[in-house]
Amino acid sequence: MVSREEKVVWFYEQSKMKEWWKANHTLAFHYGYYEKGFRSHDQAILHMNDVVWDMLGLDGTRPLQILDAGCGVGGTSIYLAKKYPMVSFTGISIAPSEIQFATELAVQNKVTENTRFLQNNFCDTKFPDGSFDGVIALESINYASDTRELFQEMYRILKPGGRLVVLDGFRTQKRLSPMMQKAYHHWLSGRAIDDLVSINDCVMLMAEQKFQQITATDISSRTAASELRGVVIGLPFFFSILVKSIVSLNRYKRSDDNFYMGVLFCGGLLAVSGRSKYYAVTAKK
Residue 226 lies in a domain: no
Q: What is the pLDDT of residue 114?
A: 98
What does pTM read for this prediction?
0.90
CA-based end-to-end distance of the chain: 39
The rounded distance, in Å, linking the Cα atoms of 66 and 284 is 14
Residue type, 90: T
Residue 239 lies in a domain: no
- Measured torsion, CA atoms of residues 89, 94, 98, 100, in degrees rounded to the nearest 10: 80
Total number of domains constituting the chain: 1
Residue 204 lies in a domain: yes
Q: Are strands 212-218 and 115-119 parallel, antiparallel or unpaired?
A: unpaired
3-state secondary structure 53-119: HHHHCCCCCCCEEEEEECCCCCHHHHHHHHHCCCEEEEEEECCHHHHHHHHHHHHHCCCCCCEEEEE
> What CATH number should be reported for the domain holding residue 44?
3.40.50.150
Q: What is the pLDDT of residue 104?
A: 94
For the cut 50, the answer to whether the pLDDT of residue 31 exceeds it is yes
Range of the domain at 131: 4-173+194-220+274-284
Asked which of 102-111, 243-252, 264-273 is least confident by mean pLDDT, the reply is 243-252
**Spatial CB neighbours of 112, under 8 Å, sequence gap ≥ 6:** 106
Across residues 232-261, what is the average pLDDT?
Answer: 62
Paired strand residues for 279: 168, 218
For the cut 50, the answer to whether the pLDDT of residue 86 exceeds it is yes
Other Cβ atoms less than 10 A from the Cβ of 229: the count is 19
φ, ψ of residue 75 to 5 degrees: the values are -60, -45
Q: Are strands 276-284 and 158-171 parallel, antiparallel or unpaired?
A: antiparallel
Average pLDDT, the chain: 87
Residue 186 lies in a domain: no
Residue 146 lies in a domain: yes
> 132-176: per-residue pLDDT in tens?
999 999 999 999 999 999 999 999 999 999 999 999 999 988 788
Paired strand residues for 69: 92
Helix ranges (DSSP H) in 248-285: 257-262, 264-273
Residue 166 lies in a domain: yes
Residue 19 lies in a domain: yes
Residue 107 lies in a domain: yes
Q: Identify whether the C-beta of residue 126 lies closer than 8 Å to the C-beta of residue 120.
A: yes
E-assigned strands of 102-258? 115-119, 132-138, 158-171, 212-218
